[in-house]
Structure 1
Amino acid sequence: MIPSTTTAKAQARRLRQDLGATGVPVGHARALELVAHLHGVRDWNTFVALASDAAAPDVPAAGPTAGPGVPVLRVRSAAVAVPFYVSYLGFTLDWEHRFEPGLPLYVQVSRSALVLHLSEHHGDGSGPTVVWVPVVDVHGLQAELRARTDVPLRPGIDLDAPGGPTMEVVDPDGNVLRFAQRVPS
């Protein structure tokens, strides 16, 4: 049985840490590919398609339906943006793509079911933009972010926001992530 992508990403992180500790550096994208191979799958993209969490209960596995959209956020420097998303917001760097050395970087980061693409490409996104993100516990997320002392942000929560209690976080490029906790009607 193919495990969930969350489990596989955790395996890739452990693999990177263990190999790094022995002096064998492995990038995250390569670690994901190795985990896919470990489970008998050709590559990471195929693994994601086959993963036990690939077909969400509200999205049929086949048919003319669309999956969730993936926002593309324009960033000036992935070297600045990626650490903000990974170290501060708790995302995982899933993969990076560059057509050749010296060209703009395009990356995917994710946290739980939220997937974002960050692009240095001039034509991607007119930025800055706003992404509305539903969360189960906005107060818990706020506490998690406030506990991180390496970034001097202390986001507040707007209890009267139209989508429910909402915390806004602005990335280094001005893109706004609105984490909103839905309130039962």
Structure 2
Amino acid sequence: MTTDAAKAAARRLRADLAEQSITISHSAALELVAHQLGLCDWNTASAQLGRRQDDAVGVGAPVPVLRVQRFEDVRSFYIDFLDFAVEWEHRFQPGMPLYVRIPRGDARLDLSEHHGDGTPGAVVWIPVADATRLHAELNRKYYPSMRPGLDDDAPGGPTIEVIDPSGNTLRFCEA
């Protein structure tokens, strides 16, 4: 929720109460909305919620491009082991480098065989809701030379780090 949404909720609350002949100030309504959100007061809510700024051009979430030498060498790692899916593949013509989009949940990665698309050895930080559950999921599967650990003391929160066959590091972190 944003501060704009919380302010709108306070306006609706005041209007609903006014229909029942109950009058409260806007600041009192803001305090009530903050309490409904589990926060101690409006100042705390305002600081924690932040203000959404409309972006007229519609900037979206970034999609990291990871360089891979051969997609066939990393296919089982991303598809079978990490449970990503192939959304689409592109080649300019047969025999040319492959470019692939793979999603899982809200995460999107592009894997490219093109020489100009990044350098093997990149690091991508991917948020997860439950690192312990992902850790258990990965450890139930077999992937050669891969038994990732769970670092409960990582700076960003519990983290699972895996390295793909092209040397790219994925850090799944429960923030």
TM class by smaller structure: 0.5 to 0.7
**Inter-partner Cα distance in structure 2 for 1:174 and 1:160:** 24
What do residues 77-133 of structure 1 show as CA deviations (whole Å, max 9, x unaligned)?
001112210000000111100000110000011100000000000000022100001
Q: Which residue of 2 aligns with 1:164?
A: 157
Q: Is the contact between residue 82 and residue 93 of structure 1 (CA under 8 Å) also seen in structure 2?
A: no
**SS state at 2:172 partner:** strand
Indicate the percent of aligned positions where both proteins have the same amino acid: 50
1:76 aligns with 2:69: yes
Instruction: Report the counterpart of residue 121 of structure 1 in structure 2.
Output: 114
Normalising by the residue count of structure 1, what TM-score does the alignment of the two structures yield?
0.63
Say which SS state the counterpart of residue 144 (structure 1) adopts: helix
Contact 1:106 1:117 in 2 (8 A): yes
Name which of 98, 113, 117 aligns with 2:91: 98
**How large is the RMSD of aligned CA atoms in angstroms?**
1.9
CA distance in 2, matches of 1:113, 1:59: 20
Q: Which amino acid aligns with 1:91?
A: F
Task: Give the structure-2-normalised TM-score.
Answer: 0.67
Q: Is contact 2:81-2:142 (8 Å) kept?
A: no
Q: What is the deviation of 1:59?
A: 8.7
Q: CA deviation at 1:158?
A: 1.3
Deviation at 1:157, TM superposition (A): 1.2
Give the distance between the partners of 1:101 and 1:64, measured in 2 at CA.
36
Letter in 2 for 1:66: V
Q: Which amino acid aligns with 2:111?
A: L
Runs of 4+ in 1 over 3 A off after TM superposition: 58-62
Relative distance call for 1:99 and 1:60 in structure 2 (3 A) is farther
Relative distance call for 1:67 and 1:145 in structure 2 (3 A) is: same
Q: Distance in 2 between matches of 1:59 and 1:108?
A: 29
SS in structure 1 of the partner of residue 80 of structure 2: helix
Which residue in 2 is equivalent to 1:10? none
Change beyond 3 A, Cα 1:159–1:109:
same
Long gaps (5+) in structure 2: 1-50
Contact 1:165 1:181 in 2 (8 A): yes
Instruction: State the partner residue of 1:181.
Output: 174
